[in-house]
A = this chain, B = another copy of it.
Amino acid sequence: MTTTATHRALNFSAGPGVLPEEVLRQVQHDIWDLGGTGIGIMEHSHRAASYDRIIAEAIADCKKVGGIGDDYDVLFLTGGASTQNHMIPANLLPEGGTADYANTGYWARKTAEECQYYGKAHIAFDGKPSNYTFIPRQSELKFSASPAYFHYTSNNTIMGTEYHYVPQPPAGVPLVCDMCSDIYSRPFDVTKFGLIYAGAQKNLGPAGATVVIIRKDLLERSPRPLPTLLRYKPFAENESRPNTPPVFAIYVVGLVFKWILKQGGLKPIAERNQSKAKIIYDVIDATGFYTGHARDDSRSLMNISFRTPSPDTDKLFITEAKAEGMDNLKGHRSIGGIRASVYNAFPTEGCETFAQFMREFERKHG
Question: What is the interface of chain A, defined by CB distance below 8 A to chain B?
Answer: 1-4, 6-9, 11, 13-19, 24-25, 27-29, 31-33, 36-40, 42-46, 48, 78-83, 85-86, 114, 117, 199, 201, 205-209, 225-230, 242-249, 252, 325, 327-328
Contacts and interface: CB of A to CB of B under 8 A. Distances in A.
B28 A3 contact: yes
A165 to B, nearest CB: 28
A327 B37 contact: yes
Nearest to A205: B42
B208 A16 contact: no
Contacts of A245: 80, 207
Contacts of A252: 42
Contacts of A46: 16, 207
B3 A247 contact: no
Given A206-B248, A249-B208, A249-B249, A229 B86 contact: yes
A269 to B, nearest CB: 19
A208 B117 contact: no
8 contacts: A8-B38, A16-B45, A18-B43, A28-B32, A46-B207, A79-B79, A81-B244, A207-B246
Contacts of A19: 40, 42-43
B7 A38 contact: yes
A259 to B, nearest CB: 14
A43 B327 CA distance: 11
A6 B32 contact: yes
Contacts of A242: 82
Nearest to A243: B82
B246 A38 contact: no
A80 B82 contact: no
Contact of A42 (B16, B29, B85): B16
Given A43-B11, A43-B16, A43-B17, A248 B79 contact: no
